[in-house]
Structure 1
Amino acid sequence: MRWTIKPKPSDDKINHLAQALNVEDFVATLLVQRGIETFEQAKAFFRPSLDHLHDPFLMKDMDKAVERIEEAIANQERILVFGDYDVDGTTAVSLVSSYLKSYYPHIATYIPDRYLEGYGISYKGIDYAEDNEFTLIIALDCGIKSIDHVAYAKEKSIDFIICDHHRPGDQLPEAAAVLDPKRTDCDYPYDELCGCGVGFKLIQALGSRKGETIDDLIPYLDLVATAIAADIVPMTGENRVLAHYGLQVINADPRPGIKALVHQVKKQTLDITDVVFIIAPRINAAGRIKHGNHAVELLTEFDFDQAQQFASEIEQYNSDRKDLDKQITKEALAQIIENQETEQFTSVVFQEDWHKGVIGIVASRLIETYYRPTLVFTKSGDKYAASARSVKGFDVYNALEACSEHLEQFGGHMYAAGMTILPENYPAFKAAFEKQVQETIQPEMRTQEIEIDAEINFAAITPKFFRILKQFEPFGPQNMTPVFLSKNVIDTGHGKTMGKEDEHLRLFVKQNNSEGLAAIGFGLGDKMEFTTHQKPFQAVYCIDENEWNGKVTTQLRLKNIKP
Structure 2
Amino acid sequence: MNDNQNSYYQNKKSINQNYWKLSTRTELETHFELFYSQRFNFPSALVPILIDNKVSKDNFELFLYPKIKNLLPDPSIFIDMDKTVKRIANEIETKNPIGVFGDYDVDGATSAALLKLFLQCFGIEVHIHIPDRFLEGYGPNISALNSLVSKGSNLIITVDCGINSHEPLKELNKTDIDCIIIDHHTPDDDLPPAFSIVNPKRKENGIEYHYLSAVGVTFIMIVGLTRELRQRGVFEKIKEPNLFRFLDLVALGTVCDVVPLKGLNRCFVKAGLNIISQRKNLGINALCDISDLNKIPDEETLGYKLGPKINAAGRIGSSDMGVSLLISKDISKANELASKLYQLNEKRKKLTNNSTLEAIGMVESEKNKIGKLPDFLFLVSENWNEGIIGILAGKIKEKYNRPCCVISIGQNYSKGSARSIANIPIGEYFLEALDKKLLVKGGGHDLAAGLAIENNKIQMFKDFLISKVKHAFQENELVSEISVTSQLSISALNSDLMDWIKKLGPWGQGNPTPKFIIKNVIIKKLVFFGKEKKHLLVKVSDNSGEIDCKIFNINETAFSSVLEKNKSLHLLGNLVSNEWNNKNKVEFNLIDIMT
TM over 0.5: yes
Give deviations 1:54-97, integer Å, cap 9, x for gaps: 33344333322221112123334321012111110111001101
C-alpha deviation, 1:509, in angstroms: 1.9
Paired residue for 1:362, among 372, 377, 392? 392
2:543 counterpart of 1:507: no
Find the residue that maps to 1:527 and give its secondary structure: coil
**Is the partner of 1:277 in helix, strand or coil?**
helix
Could you tell which deviates more after superposition, 176-185 or 155-164?
Answer: 176-185
Are residues 1:453 and 2:453 paired? no
1:341 is aligned to 2:384: no
Pick closer, same or farther for the CA change 1:135–1:381 going to 2, 3 Å: farther
Are the structure 2 counterparts of residues 446 and 532 from structure 1 closer, same or farther at C-alpha, using a change threshold of 3 Å?
A: same
Out of 92, 98, 101, the position equivalent to 1:79 is 98
User: Aligned residue pairs: how many?
Assistant: 560
In structure 1, the partner of 2:224 is 205
In the alignment, structure 1 segments of 5+ residues that lack a partner are none
How far apart are 1:490 and its partner, in Å?
A: 1.5
- Among residues 140, 153, 156, which one is paired with 1:121 in the alignment? 140
The answer for the alignment partner of 1:97 in structure 2 is 116
1:213-269 Cα shifts (integer Å, max 9, x gaps): 998122211111100110111212221221111111111223111111111111132
2:248 pairs with 1:232: no
Amino acid at match of 1:216: N
SS at match of 2:314: helix
Contact 1:121 1:143 in 2 (8 A): yes
Residues 119-165 of structure 1: per-residue CA shift (max 9 Å, x gap): 22222222223333321011111223334443432321111222122
Displacement of 1:353: 4.0
Cross-structure match for 1:137: 156
User: For 1:471-522, what per-residue CA distance to the aligned partner results, in whole angstroms no more than 9, with x for missing partners?
Assistant: 012112232110011211112x22334468865432222222x121111123
Cα pair distance change 1:533/1:69, threshold 3 Å: closer
In the superposition, the TM-score normalised over structure 2's length comes to: 0.86
Q: 1:553 aligns with which of 585, 588, 592?
A: 585
The answer to whether structure 1 residue 321 and structure 2 residue 352 are counterparts is: no
Deviation at 1:2, TM superposition (A): 1.3
1:490 to 509, 514, 522: 522
Corresponding residue SS for 1:329: helix
Pick closer, same or farther for the CA change 1:506–1:207 going to 2, 3 Å.
same
From 7, 10, 27, give the equivalent of 1:11: 27
Name which of 407, 410, 414 aligns with 1:384.
Answer: 414
Amino acid at match of 2:545: E
Q: Which of residues 290, 295, 310 in structure 2 aligns to 1:264? A: 290
How big is the shift at 1:108?
1.1
For 1:490, give the aligned amino acid. Answer: I
Alpha-carbon shift at residue 470 of structure 1 (Å): 1.6
Give the counterpart letter for 2:578 in structure 1. N
Quickly say closer, same or farther: Cα 1:445–1:553, change in 2 above 3 A: farther
Distance in 2 between the 1:435 and 1:192 partners? 28
Deviates more, 1:211-220 or 1:123-132: 211-220
Identify if the C-alpha distance between structure 1 residues 303 and 399 changes in structure 2 by more than 3 Å, giving closer, same or farther. closer
CA contact (8 A) 1:34 1:478 kept: no
Shift of residue 332 of structure 1? 2.9
Q: Give the unaligned 5+ runs of structure 2.
A: 1-16
Counterpart contact for 1:336–1:347, Cα < 8 Å: yes
Structure 1 counterpart SS, 2:504: coil
Distance 1:430 1:180 in 2: 30
Q: What is the match of residue 18 of structure 2?
A: 2
Distance in 2, Cα, partners of 1:215 & 1:25? 43
* Aligned mates of 1:179, 1:432 — CA distance in 2: 31
Q: Note if contact 1:46-1:471 (Cα within 8 Å) is conserved in structure 2.
A: yes
Give the drift of 1:554: 1.0
Are residues 159 and 476 of structure 1, via their aligned partners in 2, closer, same or farther at CA, if it must alter by over 3 Å?
Answer: same
Q: Say if 1:311 and 1:159 are closer, same or farther in 2 by CA, change over 3 A.
A: same
- Provide the rounded CA distance (Å) in 2 between the counterparts of 1:227 and 1:263: 19
**In 2 relative to 1, CA 361–219 (structure 1 residues): closer, same or farther, beyond 3 Å?**
same
Matches within 5 A, 1:185-204: 185-186=204-205, 190-204=209-223
Contact kept, 8 Å, 1:140 with 1:195, in 2: the verdict is yes
Match for residue 517 of structure 1? 547
The residue type paired with residue 530 of structure 1 is: V
Residues 347, 374 of structure 1: 8 Å contact kept: yes
Sequence identity, in percent? 30
> What letter matches 2:125 in structure 1?
H
Deviation at 1:398, TM superposition (A): 5.9
Match for 1:423 among 455, 465, 480?
455
Q: Which moved more, 1:48-57 or 1:398-407?
A: 398-407
The alignment partner of 1:169 has SS state of coil
Out of 563, 566, 570, the residue aligned to residue 534 of structure 1 is 566
User: What does residue 407 of structure 1 align with?
Assistant: 438
Equivalent residues in 2 for 1:280-359 (5 A)?
280-338=307-365, 340-343=368-371, 344-345=373-374, 346-359=376-389
TM-aligned CA distance change 1:66 to 1:7, over 3 Å = same
- Of residues 55, 62, 66, the one that matches 1:48 is 66
Amino acid of the residue matched to residue 31 of structure 2? N
Q: Is the 8 A contact 2:535 2:550 kept in 1?
A: yes
Distance, in Å, in 2 between the alignment partners of 1:230 and 1:98 is 20
Q: Matches of 1:79 and 1:549 in 2, distance apart? A: 47
Provide the C-alpha distance between the structure 2 equivalents of 1:308 and 1:249, rounded to a whole number of angstroms: 19
Q: Identify the range of structure 1 (82-91 vs 527-536) with the bigger mean alpha-carbon deviation.
A: 527-536
2:50 paired with 1:31: yes
In the alignment, which residue of structure 1 is the partner of 2:11?
Answer: none
TM-score (norm 1): 0.90
Q: Given residue 489 of structure 1, which amino acid in structure 2 is its aligned partner?
A: V
**Closer, same or farther: CA 6–538 of 1 in aligned 2, 3 Å:** closer
Which residue in the other structure is 1:65 paired with? 84
- Read off the aligned partner of 1:197 and give its amino acid letter: G
Q: 1:561 to 1:190 in 2, by over 3 A?
A: same
Given that residues 98 and 124 in structure 2 are in contact (C-alpha distance below 8 angstroms), is that contact kept between their aligned partners in structure 1?
no
What do residues 411-443 of structure 1 show as CA deviations (whole Å, max 9, x unaligned)? 333332333443344455546655664565359
One-letter amino acid matched to 1:380: G
Cα distance change, pair 13–381 in 1 and its aligned pair in 2 (3 A): same
The one-letter amino acid paired with 1:384 is S
Q: CA deviation at 1:192?
A: 2.4
Look up the equivalent residue of 2:175 and give its one-letter code.
K
